[in-house]
Structure 1
Amino acid sequence: MISSNSLINKKEQRFRSLAFLTVIVIYLLILAGGIVRGTGSGMGCPDWPKCFGRWIPPTEISQLPVNYQKIYGAKLKGEVEFNATKTWIEYTNRLLGVLSGFLVFATLIASLSYLRKDKTIIWGSAAAFVLIGVNGWLGSRVVATELTQYVITLHLLLAILVVFALLFVWIRSNAHRLHIEDISVENNISRWLLGILLVLTIGQIVLGAQVRDVLDSVVKRIGYTQRDSWVDNLDWRFYIHRSFSLVILTLHVAIIYQLRKRNKTGVFVSLTNALMALVIAEIGTGVIMAYLGVPAIAQPIHLILAILIIGLQFSIGLLLTPKFILPRGINKASRLVKV
Structure 2
Amino acid sequence: MLITGLLVALLPAAMVWMSSDENKYRKLAWTCVFLTFDLIVFGAFTRLTDSGLGCPDWPGCYGLANPFLAHAEIAAAEALQPTGPVTVFKAWVEMIHRYLAMGIGMLVMAMMATAWVQWRKHKRPGFEPGMPTVLFFAFALQGAFGAWTVTLKLQPVIVSTHLLLGMTLLALLTWFGSRQNIVHDTLTGKKIRPAAPPPVLRAIRWLAVASGVVVAVQLALGAWVSTNYATLACTEFPKCGGQWVPLMDFEHGFHLWRELGKTAAGHYLPFEALTAVHWVHRNFALVVVALAGYTAYRAWNIVGMTKLARGIAMVLGAQAATGIATIYLNFPLAIAVLHNLGAALLVLMLTMLNYRAKHQSDTALHSESSTLRAAAPSRHQQ
2:152 alignment partner in structure 1? 145
Q: Structure 1: any 5+ residue segments left out of the alignment? A: 1-9, 74-78, 220-226, 331-339
Structure 1 contact 180–322 (Cα < 8 Å) conserved: no
Match of 1:36 among 31, 40, 46: 46
Please tell me whether residue 201 in structure 1 is matched to residue 215 in structure 2: yes
Q: Structure 2: any 5+ residue segments left out of the alignment? A: 1-19, 186-190, 242-270, 368-382
Cα 1:260–1:125, aligned 2, differ >3 Å: closer, same or farther?
same
The runs of at least 4 aligned residues of structure 1 exceeding 4 Å deviation read 65-69, 216-219, 231-234, 323-326
Report 1:149-160 matches (<5 A).
149-160=156-167
Which region of structure 1 is more displaced relative to structure 2, 154-163 or 179-188? 179-188
Q: Aligned with 1:105: secondary structure?
A: helix
Please tell me whether residue 179 in structure 1 is matched to residue 183 in structure 2: no
Q: Aligned with 1:179: secondary structure?
A: coil
Cα 1:217–1:43, aligned 2, differ >3 Å: closer, same or farther?
farther
Cα 1:200–1:287, aligned 2, differ >3 Å: closer, same or farther?
same
- The one-character-per-residue Cα deviations of 1:192-248 (angstroms, maximum 9, x if unpaired) are 1211111111111111111113326989xxxxxxx979x866412212211222221
1:81 Cα shift? 5.5
Structure 2 contact 312–349 (Cα < 8 Å) conserved: yes
Which region of structure 1 is more displaced relative to structure 2, 295-304 or 27-36? 295-304
1:121 Cα shift? 3.9
TM-score of the pair, normalised by structure 1: 0.79
1:99 alignment partner in structure 2? 103
1:298 Cα shift? 1.9
2:228 alignment partner in structure 1? 214
| CA distance in structure 2 between the aligned counterparts of 1:318 and 1:64, rounded to whole angstroms | 49
Please tell me whether residue 118 in structure 1 is matched to residue 125 in structure 2: yes
Which region of structure 1 is more displaced relative to structure 2, 310-319 or 86-95? 310-319
1:160 Cα shift? 2.2
TM-score of the pair, normalised by structure 2: 0.70
Match of 2:314 among 277, 280, 289: 277
- The one-character-per-residue Cα deviations of 1:111-142 (angstroms, maximum 9, x if unpaired) are 34455133674211111111101211221111
Q: Aligned with 2:228: secondary structure?
A: helix
Match of 1:14 among 1, 8, 24: 24
Counterpart of 1:300 in structure 2: which amino acid?
Answer: V
Aligned length: 303
Q: Aligned with 2:129: secondary structure?
A: helix
| CA distance in structure 2 between the aligned counterparts of 1:25 and 1:194, rounded to whole angstroms | 25
Counterpart of 1:96 in structure 2: which amino acid?
Answer: L
Counterpart of 2:287 in structure 1: which amino acid?
Answer: V
Counterpart of 2:192 in structure 1: which amino acid?
Answer: H
**Structure having the higher Rg:** 2
Structure 1 contact 45–91 (Cα < 8 Å) conserved: yes
Cα 1:323–1:277, aligned 2, differ >3 Å: closer, same or farther?
closer
Match of 1:164 among 150, 155, 171: 171
2:14 alignment partner in structure 1? none
| CA distance in structure 2 between the aligned counterparts of 1:96 and 1:53, rounded to whole angstroms | 19
Counterpart of 2:275 in structure 1: which amino acid?
Answer: D
1:144 Cα shift? 0.8
Aligned-pair identity in percent equals 23
| CA distance in structure 1 between the aligned counterparts of 2:358 and 2:45, rounded to whole angstroms | 35
Please tell me whether residue 251 in structure 1 is matched to residue 291 in structure 2: yes
Cα 1:279–1:218, aligned 2, differ >3 Å: closer, same or farther?
closer
Return the structure number with greater relative CO, CA threshold 8 A, min gap 6: 1
1:336 alignment partner in structure 2? none
Please tell me whether residue 321 in structure 1 is matched to residue 328 in structure 2: no
Q: Aligned with 2:31: secondary structure?
A: helix
Structure 1 contact 121–172 (Cα < 8 Å) conserved: no
Cα 1:36–1:65, aligned 2, differ >3 Å: closer, same or farther?
closer
Structure 2 contact 205–357 (Cα < 8 Å) conserved: yes
Cα 1:289–1:255, aligned 2, differ >3 Å: closer, same or farther?
same
Please tell me whether residue 26 in structure 1 is matched to residue 39 in structure 2: no
1:13 Cα shift? 0.5
Match of 1:48 among 50, 58, 77: 58
Q: Aligned with 1:267: secondary structure?
A: coil
Counterpart of 2:164 in structure 1: which amino acid?
Answer: L
1:169 Cα shift? 2.1
| CA distance in structure 1 between the aligned counterparts of 2:362 and 2:162, rounded to whole angstroms | 27
Report 1:297-316 matches (<5 A).
297-316=334-353
1:65 Cα shift? 8.2
Cα 1:81–1:299, aligned 2, differ >3 Å: closer, same or farther?
closer
1:304 Cα shift? 2.2
Structure 1 contact 44–90 (Cα < 8 Å) conserved: yes
| CA distance in structure 1 between the aligned counterparts of 2:43 and 2:315, rounded to whole angstroms | 20
| CA distance in structure 2 between the aligned counterparts of 1:122 and 1:241, rounded to whole angstroms | 38
Cα 1:60–1:218, aligned 2, differ >3 Å: closer, same or farther?
farther
